[in-house]
């Protein structure tokens, strides 16, 4: 019927960024991202998000089934766990027996130093992004351990697993000399939740100086060509101030001047594409992963803009 076609003209109210994003979400997103959008922007119920997230939960207490679109297949991986905890944190539901069970799972899959790898060894070669290789004996990684530990501490979770994992994060963060941009994001996620606030502030101050010295974040989007991509990253795969200081209360906010952050947020707001979604600035390695990643990027963009008081 006329008007049912996805390519039909959008209604007049869709001129707002939020309305265009809503249309994009309904057209392209998984049920989980649809429910998250409804919760954060349309007054939807947290229970609906929780139910959708539960479909990714495995019997071992971990999350799988491509919750993070970079790892396909049903198996539980720490990268999925980090994604699940961010969602639960946004719902205010990072507590209870579910988290206790998850911590037991984390204890079982941790490396010898008490940290989490990115990807666990798997008996079946399910597809995954080439930048997340599978090892027979994977090392602990700040990429996954930092965000998981940070969220658990921020929610005042106390579990035996956290002691060694927290020590691992402190050691990695305080001894970073040559970080990659995604390690910086993970370090900030840890520091923003770390219970020792004085130590976190000192570590963040040192890390912020390192970020600026090594030009890991593009401080002026108009001059982004002066910031070559980090080795191994795709062309255009760069981080901006809003990518590391996602909320104004983040310790990383202090790394940037008001003008640098304003330019970054202007760049983020202008990045909304004609279809209403935001782009994904990383290697496109599989059609399904790319399609599922864009609604997630769109949600993150909207949440960051709202956190800084930008009109939607």
**Lowest mean per-residue pLDDT among 18-27, 77-86, 201-210, 222-231:** 222-231
Q: What residues pair up with 291 in beta bridges, in sequence order?
A: none
Mean pLDDT over 143-170 rounds to 97
**Domain boundary assignment for the chain:** 215-311
Instruction: Write down the pLDDT at residue 285.
Output: 84
Mean pLDDT over 296-311 rounds to 97
Task: Tell me the pLDDT tens digit for each residue of 51-64.
Answer: 999 999 999 999 99
The pTM score is 0.91
pLDDT above 50 for 2? no
Task: Tell me the pLDDT tens digit for each residue of 250-300.
Answer: 999 999 999 999 999 999 999 999 999 999 988 888 888 889 999 999 999
Instruction: Write down the pLDDT at residue 228.
Output: 79
pLDDT above 70 for 6? no
Percent over 70 (pLDDT), the chain: 95
């Amino acid at each position: 019927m006329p008007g049912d076609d996805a390519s039909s003209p959008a209604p007049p109210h869709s001129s707002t960024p939020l309305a265009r994003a809503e249309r994009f979400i309904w057209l392209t997103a998984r049920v989980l991202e649809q429910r998250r959008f409804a919760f954060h922007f349309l007054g939807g119920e947290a229970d609906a998000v929780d139910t959708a997230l539960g479909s990714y939960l495995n019997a071992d207490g971990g999350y799988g089934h491509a919750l993070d679109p970079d790892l396909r297949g049903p198996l539980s991986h720490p990268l999925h766990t980090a994604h699940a905890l961010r969602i639960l944190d946004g719902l205010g539901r990072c507590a209870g027996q579910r988290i206790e069970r998850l911590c037991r799972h984390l204890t079982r899959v941790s490396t010898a130093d008490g940290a989490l790898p990115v990807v666990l060894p798997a008996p079946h070669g399910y597809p995954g992004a080439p930048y997340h290789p599978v090892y027979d004996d994977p090392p602990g990684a700040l990429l996954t351990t930092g965000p998981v530990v940070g969220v658990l501490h921020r929610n005042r979770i106390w579990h035996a697993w956290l002691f060694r994992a927290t020590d691992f994060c402190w050691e990695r963060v305080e001894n970073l000399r040559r970080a990659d941009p995604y390690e910086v994001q993970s370090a900030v996620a840890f520091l923003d939740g770390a219970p020792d606030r004085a130590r976190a502030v000192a570590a963040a101050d040192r890390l912020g100086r390192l970020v600026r010295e090594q030009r890991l974040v593009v401080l002026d989007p108009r001059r982004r060509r002066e910031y070559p991509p980090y080795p191994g990253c795709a062309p255009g795969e760069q981080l901006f101030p809003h990518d590391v200081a996602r909320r104004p209360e983040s310790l990383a906010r202090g790394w940037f001047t008001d003008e640098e952050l304003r330019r970054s947020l202007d760049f983020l707001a202008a990045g909304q594409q004609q279809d209403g979604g935001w782009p994904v600035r990383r290697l496109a390695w599989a059609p399904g992963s790319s399609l599922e990643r864009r609604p997630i990027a769109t949600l993150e963009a909207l949440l960051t803009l709202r956190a800084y008081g930008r009109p939607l």
